[in-house]
A and B are shown apart, each in its own frame.
Chain A
Amino acid sequence: NAGVTQTPKFQVLKTGQSMTLQCAQDMNHNSMYWYRQDPGMGLRLIYYSASEGTTDKGEVPNGYNVSRLNKREFSLRLESAAPSQTSVYFCASSERAGQALWGYTFGSGTRLTVV
């Protein structure tokens, strides 16, 4: 089925370790997004890429970096994981940022625990 694929689905890290969350979409969408979802905080935008070759900070970018590898793939990197980064991470895509009224297609999430 067409959609957004995230890997891994679960991960446990020790404080200070690094890791990259992978996201790929096969809908030929131009825009891609990384969100984190925490209890009581809702969905918060970390970074987004309006089009291939561009990335911009969202609401909570500190401690994260992103790479728009090509039109299909958008990765999120934690350079030195902290317990405050324990969360569920969602990748999403849309046809283009300016036409977000059609909504985002979300992946199924990565559950990350930092101990």
Chain B
Amino acid sequence: QKEVEQDPGPLSVPEGAIVSLNCTYSNSAFQYFMWYRQYSRKGPELLMYTYSSGNKEDGRFTAQVDKSSKYISLFIRDSQPSDSATYLCAMWRDDKIIFGKGTRLHILP
């Protein structure tokens, strides 16, 4: 079993919809949870990070962590075509960041 599992998509949703992106993990040692956004032909950039179980909000983005279920989510409200990108979950343990494979998201105008 991979330490971090993420559905690669692609996921296509109409503009204005709420988007839900998810990852599961198997290692309880993970302490910090992050979401990276990667536009086509660019490097990943850190979008949000969180530590504890619960929700963290930043504008239209909400990161959610459920440590008991080993499940993390990223919600995007009022999605825009500019949100079209690949979203990678990432988790930190033992001085290393382990990345999910990424989910490709298309927001349809």
Nearest-CB distance from B23 to chain A (Å)?
Answer: 11
B-side interface size class: 20 to 34
Given A42-B88, A101-B32, A101-B49, A108–B99 Cβ distance below 8 Å? no
Residues of B within 8 A of A106 (CB): 43-45
Of residues 19 through 52 on chain A, the ones whose CB sits less than 8 Å from some CB of chain B are: 40-43, 45, 50
In this assembly, does B58 line the interface, its C-beta being within 8 Å of a C-beta of chain A? Answer: no
A40 to B92, CA, bound (A): 21
Chain B residues near A (Cβ < 8 Å): 6, 8, 31-32, 34, 36, 41-46, 49, 51, 88, 90, 92, 95-97, 99-102
Interface contacts beyond A42-B6, A90-B44, A92-B43: sample of 10 additional A-B pairs, CB < 8 Å, sorted by A: A41-B101, A42-B88, A45-B96, A50-B95, A97-B95, A101-B49, A101-B92, A102-B46, A103-B49, A106-B43
Chain A residues near B (Cβ < 8 Å): 4, 40-43, 45, 50, 90, 92, 97-98, 100-109
